[in-house]
Amino acid sequence: MQFTRLLQSIQQQHNSLLCIGLDSDPAKLPPSIRSSREPVLEFNRAIIRATSEFTCAYKINLAFYEAMGVKGWDILRETLSLIPSHILTIGDAKRGDIGNTAKQYAKALLEDLGFGATTVNPYMGFDSVEPFLQNEERGAFVLALTSNPGAKDFQHLVSKGRPLYEHVTLKVKQWNRKRNCGLVVGATRPRQLQSIRNILPRVPFLIPGVGAQGGDLRSAVRYGCDATGWLALINASRSIIFASSGRYYASAAEKSAKAMRNQINRIRDSLF
């Protein structure tokens, strides 16, 4: 099944647009588990068990695992094996390199680790993205408009009447032959989110920046979804996984994930 349809079917099956970011920074783990043998893995296990009912996807930022060195790869692999198979896994690696090398990254992420989708950086153009689009069942979310302060440095530069992130959007429209392209669009700029959705009405959007980064949830759902109320992946990381640093951190994460899933659904039901 093509990735876009696959994602929609996962979202419908779980009745959820929520994506949980497993940014399990070792320095931020609850003190109660820091002394265990593999704190990050134990934390991930507890978080996944507590939240998998409410999410349609887990996004794993590879930086936190690479920073642990060799051990990090083992923890990453084991974490992936803990995620129920009917939930999408996104390898948030933001890779971007020339064709030959991009192929190696795609192999590492999609074949060896087995992620269902990845994030990719568009700066080097088509041949750096193409290897991530070979398998129609695996998605590639291309960075368009990000939610960090530095986004303004280049992404908003206007060329031929359009900002750079719209040029990226238009290219993704061309690259989407197998219906497995997605876009990363931050929630911090609702108007731009709307204009990008207008260009690509049926492409999945991965939307960070709600919660800790201050983006507006209502706008993220309104403009992030396609016309039928699907295909937005609203990502939350710290506000869920670090909802509490106490002993009952997992049940706090469960409550936070459930509340956010429900809040998103209420907004969606009122709009679509």
**Per CB under 8 A, 256 contacts a second copy:** no
Of 12, 63, 39, nearest in space to 245 by CA: 39
Q: Is 150 exposed, middle or buried (0-12, 13-18, 19+ CB in 10 A)?
A: exposed
Query: Closer to a second copy at the Cβ: 151 or 257?
Result: 151
Q: Which of 54, 56, 58, 22 is nearest to 41 (CA)?
A: 22
Q: Is 173 in the site for a second copy (CB under 8 A)?
A: no
Minimum CB separation from a second copy for residue 203, in Å? Answer: 18
Q: Which of 77, 86, 173, 266 binds a second copy (CB under 8 A)?
A: 77
Q: Which residue in the list 28, 94, 160, 178 is annotated as catalytic?
A: 94
Nearer to a second copy, 6 or 144 (CB): 144
Q: How many residues bind a second copy (CB under 8 A)?
A: 55
One residue of 29, 40, 143, 260 binding a second copy per CB under 8 A: 143
- Assess 151 for contact with a second copy (CB under 8 A): yes
- Judged by CB under 8 A, the chain residues 14 through 33 that form the site for a second copy are 23, 25
- How far apart CA 224 and CA 237 sit, in angstroms, is 18
101 binds a second copy (CB under 8 A): yes
Q: Work out which of 3, 43, 54, 64 binds a second copy, going by CB under 8 A.
A: 64
Closer residue to a second copy, CB minimum distance, 91 or 139? 91
The verdict on 171 binding a second copy (CB under 8 A) reads yes
Q: Which is nearer to a second copy, 122 or 139 (CB)?
A: 122
- Catalytic residue check, 94: yes
Exposure on the CB side of residue 222, measured as CA atoms within 13 A: 13
Least Å distance between CB 223 and a second copy?
Answer: 21
Catalytic residue numbers?
Answer: 94
Residues in contact with a second copy by the rule CB under 8 A: 23, 25, 61, 63-64, 66-67, 69-70, 73-74, 77, 94-102, 104-105, 107-108, 112-113, 121-129, 143, 146-155, 157-160, 164, 167-168, 171
